[in-house]
Amino acid sequence: MDMDLQAFDARIARGELIEADDVMPDAYRRQCLRLIVTHANSELMGALPEREWIPRAPGLRRKLSLLSKVQDEIGHAQMIYRVAEDLAAPFDITREDMLDDLICGRAKFHNVFSYPAPTWADVGIIAWLVDGAALETQGALLRTSYAPYARILRRICAEEAVHLKHGEDIVLTLASGTPSQRAMLQDALSRWWRPLLHFFGPPGESPNGDAFRWRIRTASNEDLRQSFLRKYVPKIQRLGLAIPDPELRLNAATGLWSYGDPDWNEFWQVIRGDGQRTAERLSLRRLSRDEQGWVVAAMRPEYAA
C-alpha cells in the first residue's frame, strides 16, 4: 500500500488508535490479521473440548452454565472473525477462507485446545485456569492499537470473567468434596499445568519487534505468564493442591516466579499441529461444518425472505 510509513509510526508513537478504514502499512495489517484470526480460531476450537461435556455435566445448573459458556465462545469467534474480515478485505481473504485454513490445518489455534478433557475436573480447570490465562492475554490486548479489536475485546473479556467464575465454582466444589473428587481435581491440575505454562509462549520469544513497536501487542509472553502465576499460584496452594513443578518458587526480591523447564519441544510440536487431540478436534470441526452446512445454506440470500 502506498503510504508514508514514518507518518504511520508517528501516529502510533502519539498513542493514536487505528480504525478499519484508516490507511495502514500492509505489514501492520498482516500482523493484526494473524493475531486476530488465531484468536478467532481459538475461540471456535476452544468450544470443542467443553462441548464434549455438555451431556455429562453434573446437574441442570452446571449444564446451563456450560452450555452458555460454549455459546459465548462461538459468539466470540463470530465477532472476532467479523473484525478479521474487515482487515482481510484488501487481501481478498474471506471468512470462508479463514475457516477453510483452520480445517485444513493451515492456520494456528491455541495450544491448550489440543489436549483432552477426560474428567469433569478438567472442565473446571479449563474454565478457571485456561480462561484465567486467556484473560491475562486479552486484558493486555485491550490496549492494542487496532481499535476495532480492542472494542470487541471489552465485550469478550466481560464474558470470559463470568466463565472464570463458573470454573472457580466447579473447582471450589470439587476441592471441598470427597477424597476421590479432590484426587480427580489434583489429576486435572497436574495434566493442565504444563499446557498452562505453554499458554503464553516461550520466554524471550518476542513475536516480531513490529508487533510491540506498533502496539499490536503490549505485553511480552513472560510478563503475561508472571502475571498469571502471581494471581493463581497462591489460590491453587490455598486449595491444598500440589503444583507438579518442584522448581516453582517465588523470588521475594524480584516478585517473579521461577519454574522448571516445561519442555518447549512439546509446545512447538503442538503449535505445528501435532498435539494429542489436534487432528481429532479438527475433524470434529470439519464434521460440524459438513453436518450443519444446511443451516448456513438456509441463511443465504436466496432463501432469506
Partner 1 sequence: MADLDVYEVFGQEKPGATFCHAGSLQAAGPDLALVLASELFCRRSEYVEIWVVPRPAVQVAPRDGASLGPAEPRGYRLGSGYRATVDKWKRFGGEQGADR
Binding site for partner 1 (CB under 8 A): 21, 68, 71-72, 75, 78-79, 82, 85-86, 94-96, 151-152, 155, 159, 299-301, 303-305
Amino acid at 274: D
Least separation, in Å, of the C-beta of 137 and partner 1?
A: 20
Question: Are the beta carbons of 241 and 189 closer than 8 angstroms?
Answer: yes
Residue 187, CA distances (Å) to 140, 255, 273 in order? 30, 28, 25
253 vs 299, which CB is nearer to partner 1?
299
**How far apart are the C-alpha atoms of 300 and 148, rounded to whole Å?**
26
Query: Coil, helix or strand for 132?
Result: helix
Task: Considering only CA atoms, give the Rg of the chain.
Answer: 20
80 vs 219, which CB is nearer to partner 1?
80
32 vs 241, which CB is nearer to partner 1?
32
Least separation, in Å, of the C-beta of 200 and partner 1?
A: 27
Least separation, in Å, of the C-beta of 64 and partner 1?
A: 12
Residue 104, CA distances (Å) to 44, 95, 145, 238 in order? 15, 14, 31, 43
82 vs 272, which CB is nearer to partner 1?
82
Rounded to the nearest 10°, the torsion over CA 214, 158, 278, 284 is: -130
Return the closest-CA partner of residue 275 out of 33, 45, 53.
45
Least separation, in Å, of the C-beta of 232 and partner 1?
A: 26
Least separation, in Å, of the C-beta of 28 and partner 1?
A: 18
Q: Which residues pair with 18 in a beta bridge?
A: 146
Return the closest-CA partner of residue 110 out of 82, 147, 87, 138.
138
Least separation, in Å, of the C-beta of 126 and partner 1?
A: 20
